[in-house]
Amino acid sequence: MTHDLARLSLNTATTKHQTLREAVDAAARAGLPAIGAWRDRVQEVGARQAAAIIADAGLRVSSLCRGGFLTASGDDDVTAALDDNRRAVEEAATLGTRELIMVVGGLPAASAPGGPALPGPDGAQDPARDLVEARHRVAERIGDLAPFAAGHGVRLVIEPLHPMFAADRAVVSTLGQALDLAEPFPAEVVGVVVDTYHVWWDPDLHQQIARAGAGRRLASYQVCDWVLPLAADPLLSRGHVGDGYVDFASITGWVREAGYTGDVEVEIFHEDVWAADPDSTIATMVERYTRHVLPYL
């Protein structure tokens, strides 16, 4: 590992088609010190074995992705969501990471992430489309989970997603909204993540990053670029750092000024990136991080 890469982490979504062991081995070959694990890869081998694979390679876990999807209103759905999030907390604790990334969920009117809207009632207000109430339910569910997370030494890290995902993936769209949800709880129990893809556009971003830093709630920094044209599935429109429109120098400088000293995860969802040779992808990731992010950390 070189000093320049001491804070760089490979999020397993970036090399989506690799198993956890393959991603860990690739990260280690490239001299990376950390990996951000998605739960699907962890669950393929079990959390204990996943922890051993990562530790044996000499890597640390920067975060676990993801918990969340907390907007359901039916009793059975709420119970299922809370149960799944408790399992996610336990997985994070087993992996040895404090940071569990939380994508809070979209409107109940969504048939599935990325799917069409369910039909609503004719001529009547539809609770499944009530955005304000969905956010209230997120706050309630965070309150339900916070004591359990605290008991396991895990922090719930709320991730605001770009507003185009408000319908189906996250009713929390700005860092300010995420901080509003986090602030009733201790900073070591509920924090926030700055993901450049989702928040680069926010005119209040500088002030909200400073607010997160002052409150000691800045738990993760994830980087990738906003590239155009958007894919048919906008979720798959992330690009390598430097290929799009994000001002990494400014945002990274704001994160540094806020006192963040943790890992920087590269998390890319793009079919072309996934189809590329993983070692080549990581080499590009390292070069772009060194050029566009590291000088401003």
Q: pLDDT, tens digit, for every residue of 43-85?
A: 999 999 999 999 999 999 999 999 999 999 999 999 999 999 9
Residues in contact with 2: Cβ distance below 8 Å, sequence separation at least 6, in sequence order: 31
Within-domain flag for 199: yes
Within-domain flag for 209: yes
Within-domain flag for 101: yes
Within-domain flag for 119: no
Within-domain flag for 121: no
Within-domain flag for 13: yes
Per residue in 145-166, is it b (16+ CB within 10 Å) or e — as a string?
bbeebbebebbbbbbbbbeebb
Instruction: Give, in degrees to the nearest 5, the angle at Cα 19 between 95 and 221.
Output: 55
Q: In CATH, what number is assigned to the domain containing residue 268?
A: 3.20.20.150
Residues of the chain falling short of pLDDT 50: 1-2
Structural Rg of the chain based on CA atoms: 18
- Helix pair angle (47-56, 75-95), 10° resolution: 30
What is residue 29's predicted lDDT score, i.e. its pLDDT?
A: 97
What is residue 3's predicted lDDT score, i.e. its pLDDT?
A: 58
Name residue 189's amino acid.
V
Number of separate domains in the chain: 1
What is residue 1's predicted lDDT score, i.e. its pLDDT?
A: 45
For the chain, give the number of residues: 297
Within-domain flag for 225: yes
What is residue 122's predicted lDDT score, i.e. its pLDDT?
A: 82
What is the domain extent for residue 56? 3-114+127-296
Within-domain flag for 240: yes
Calculate the dihedral angle through the C-alpha atoms of 171, 173, 176, 181, rounding to the nearest 10 degrees.
20
Strands 225-226 and 218-223: unpaired
